[in-house]
């Protein structure tokens, strides 16, 4: 099967959607698909059964109206004209921003979450896209993939016209190769005992409450909180100031973007991974920590309960006192840490990109066969 993937999101520092795009492309190729990857990042190179089709750097969805217009021009004009020449069986849009309004071939759109619809004030541009453009994209798609049952439930809530029969849940996977290779390490960004938070600095990640909870912790001041994620200029200064105001400015360390091998070392060296998000579509960082036998403290929200099962310690993400209590428990209770460290890898083993690709390929082949009839 010939699968085209719109990888315009890929850049030199993949995370989130970029990680999904690259991992799925590689796993689909390993499963026997011939992958056409449209990508602009210079670091994206061909591999076995992967052909890279160059895309201009400006093809990525940028900020503001000019960025939106550039994205429209690339995805719905240039890419739309190129696809018939390459003759794929299906087009995989790794996210709605990578989807064509009218695809010349069978298009499958992956939906990771509906977060902009839940927090419109925090994401006004994305809210408009999800409110007005995404319904049309979903209506015209050949099929929709949700990365979790929680995301599928959100799709039913926010897009009631989308038939359940047109949505299939396919979980994300883990990069076990990079996770298994790294020894415990502060990677040059964490010294001494530390708690770890991984993700972007967006408001729904709830990092201000995490900083408040960390500031309330009793005990030695040697403990630090290391936050991994791009230092987005919209949010980083405010979070930095919040840590200073809470009296822990010197103990909260913003590491910026950290690549996969170093990140695996950070997971293994941490006392615990803390994921206080108010909303998620899946939640890779807790699973990655669990795969490294690092205790995971996570918000009690549907996606994380689905993915982490009984192998994580849960707390109310809107209650700083509950988060402080959870942090204190995992730091002080050795038996709890041991239980979580044992349970984590067992739970995480359910998630591999090979399994993700197999489910996707089965779906693609079934849809393509039905489309030919």
Do 205 and 138 sit in the same domain of this protein?
no
Which ranges constitute the DSSP H helices of the chain? 17-30, 64-73, 79-86, 115-118, 124-128, 134-140, 149-158, 176-181, 207-215, 236-245, 260-269, 284-291, 302-308, 320-332, 334-348, 353-372
φ, ψ for residue 284, nearest 5 deg: -70, -40
From first to last of its 373 residues, the chain has per-residue pLDDT tens of 999 999 888 876 666 788 899 999 999 999 999 999 998 765 566 678 999 888 776 666 555 567 667 777 888 888 999 999 999 999 999 999 899 999 999 999 999 999 999 999 988 888 999 999 999 999 999 999 999 999 999 999 999 999 999 999 999 999 888 787 556 665 556 678 999 999 999 999 999 999 999 999 987 678 999 999 989 888 999 999 999 999 999 999 999 989 878 899 999 999 999 999 999 999 999 999 999 999 999 999 999 999 999 999 999 999 999 999 999 999 999 999 999 999 999 999 999 999 999 999 999 999 988 877 6
Alpha-carbon dihedral 238, 154, 17, 191, rounded to 10 degrees: 50
Do 228 and 365 sit in the same domain of this protein?
no
- How many structural domains are present in the chain? 2
Q: What is the pLDDT of residue 77?
A: 87
Q: What is the pLDDT of residue 16?
A: 79
Do 27 and 160 sit in the same domain of this protein?
yes
Do 334 and 361 sit in the same domain of this protein?
no
Do 148 and 181 sit in the same domain of this protein?
no
Do 77 and 220 sit in the same domain of this protein?
no
Do 197 and 270 sit in the same domain of this protein?
yes
Q: What is the pLDDT of residue 327?
A: 96
The CATH number of the domain holding residue 291 is: 3.40.50.2000
How many other C-beta atoms are found inside a 10 Å radius of the C-beta of residue 340? 24
Do 325 and 284 sit in the same domain of this protein?
yes
Do 31 and 103 sit in the same domain of this protein?
yes
User: Which residues form the domain of 158?
Assistant: 2-173+352-372
Do 209 and 325 sit in the same domain of this protein?
yes
Do 204 and 166 sit in the same domain of this protein?
no
Tell me the pTM: 0.92
Do 134 and 275 sit in the same domain of this protein?
no
């Amino acid at each position: 099967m010939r699968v085209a993937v719109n990888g315009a999101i890929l850049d030199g520092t993949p995370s989130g959607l970029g990680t999904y795009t690259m991992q799925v492309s590689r796993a689909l190729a390993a499963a026997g698909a011939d992958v056409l990857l449209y990508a602009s990042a210079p670091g994206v190179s061909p591999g076995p059964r992967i052909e890279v089709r160059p895309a201009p750097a400006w093809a990525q969805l940028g900020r503001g109206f000019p960025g939106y217009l550039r994205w429209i021009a690339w995805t719905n004009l240039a890419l739309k004209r190129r696809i018939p020449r390459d003759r794929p069986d299906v087009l995989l849009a790794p996210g709605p921003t990578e989807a064509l309004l009218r695809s010349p071939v069978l298009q499958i759109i992956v939906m990771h979450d509906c977060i902009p619809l839940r927090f419109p004030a925090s994401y006004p541009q994305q809210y408009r896209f999800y409110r007005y453009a995404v319904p049309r994209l979903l209506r015209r798609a050949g099929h929709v993939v949700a990365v979790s049952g929680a995301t599928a439930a959100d799709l039913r809530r926010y897009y009631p016209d989308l038939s359940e029969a047109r949505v299939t849940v396919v979980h994300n996977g883990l990069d076990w190769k990079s996770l298994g290779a790294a020894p415990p390490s502060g990677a040059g960004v964490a010294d001494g005992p530390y708690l770890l938070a991984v993700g972007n600095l967006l408001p729904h990640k709830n990092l201000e409450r995490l900083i408040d909870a960390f500031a309330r912790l009793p005990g030695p001041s040697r403990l630090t909180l290391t936050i991994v994620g791009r230092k987005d200029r919209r949010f980083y200064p405010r979070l930095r100031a919040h840590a200073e105001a809470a009296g822990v400015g010197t103990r909260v360390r913003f590491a910026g973007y950290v690549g996969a091998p170093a990140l695996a070392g950070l997971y293994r060296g941490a006392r615990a991974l803390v994921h206080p998000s108010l909303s998620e579509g899946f939640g890779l960082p807790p699973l990655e920590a669990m795969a490294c036998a690092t205790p995971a403290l996570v918000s009690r929200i549907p996606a994380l309960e689905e993915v982490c099962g009984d192998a994580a310690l849960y707390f109310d993400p809107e209650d700083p006192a509950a988060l402080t209590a959870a942090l204190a428990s995992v730091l002080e209770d050795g038996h709890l840490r041991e239980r979580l460290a044992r349970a984590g890898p067992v739970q995480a083993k359910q998630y591999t990109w090979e399994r993700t690709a197999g489910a996707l390929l089965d779906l693609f082949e079934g849809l393509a066969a039905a489309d030919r009839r």
